Amino acid sequence: MTIPSTSLKGQVALVTGSRRGIGEACALIFAEAGADVVVCDWISDTGELDAVKKKIVKIGRKALAVHADVKIQADVDSLFKKTMAEFGRVDILVNNAGVGDGGKNVEKSDYDPVVWQKRAAERMAKMATTPAIADLDIEAWDSVMENNVKSALLCTKAVAPIMVKQKYGNIINIASVRAASRGRGAMANYSVSKNNLVRLTEGLAGDMARFNIRVNAISPGGIITEMMRYVWDNPEARKNMGANMPLASDLIGPETIAWAALYLASDLSKYVTAQNITVDAGMMVSGVYI
């Protein structure tokens, strides 16, 4: 028996939200596996996106960096137009772009541990007497749904005719363990959006399999990214989270999600579709959802 190859030689991968974190890790591992890579982000003036492009080129693959806010149709149209002009095909799409419950991008400069802990304490105190729905920020809700669900829908819609023409394609949606949240946690903006993304993954897989296009999701647990800085930059919170991720006893790096993405993008998973792979170092079976 021959083990299928993880080589992506000759393929083109497009990864959204790829200036850092999980998106960057996926872009780099695809390049290491032989793919040319398109990286894009809605923030492109910090040097981070160009730095990822340079890393891909250093690996020995071709790269294209594009400024794109993928919840906006015109930006998505421009992104795929530039990609096709440069490479003429898209074999792998990773819908990674997204935001947290606040509906905004999280930057290092936004996090102040004292302020964050004060706000957390205030929220907990208020929840003792007021249901969370009473204070739900509808503007933030709309932003989370647009950034986490609509963006994936728009990019998939754009890539579908390309992949159908190629008679091949691979789409990977980055969800979250919070897609499986229950109780009060299930109504949070982020949880609902990621649950919707998992359901969308299943629907797309059923729709596209006959065209030899696979669609899967990955649900990360506690990952060291800016979105989780409030945990990994807080020794007590990090220790508590690590205790509930027994395979690592700590949060895990974004490269662990990229390893799962490589599996889904390669022939190792040739007949895998409509699946949601959880990468959480045992968090879900420890009974803790973030």
**What pLDDT was estimated at residue 229?**
86
> Is the distance from CB of 247 to CB of 184 less than 8 angstroms?
no
- Cα–Cα distance list, 180 to 58, 189, 198 (Å): 39, 13, 10
Spatial separation of the C-alpha atoms in residues 273 and 283, rounded to whole Å: 24
Domains of the chain: 12-281 (3.40.50.720)
Predicted confidence at residue 109, as pLDDT, reads 67
pLDDT of residue 117: 73
Task: Return the active site residues.
Answer: 190
Tens-binned pLDDT, residue by residue, of the chain (290 aa): 899 999 999 999 999 999 999 999 999 999 999 999 999 999 999 999 999 999 999 999 999 999 999 999 999 999 999 999 999 999 999 999 999 988 887 776 666 777 767 776 777 777 778 888 888 899 999 999 999 999 999 999 999 999 999 999 999 999 999 999 988 888 899 999 999 999 999 999 999 999 999 999 999 999 999 888 888 888 888 998 999 999 999 999 999 999 999 999 999 999 999 999 999 999 999 865 55
Phi and psi, residue 277, nearest 5° = -90, 125
Q: What is the pLDDT of residue 184?
A: 81
pLDDT at 273: 98
Question: pTM for the complete prediction?
Answer: 0.94
- Which amino acid is located at 117 in the chain? Q
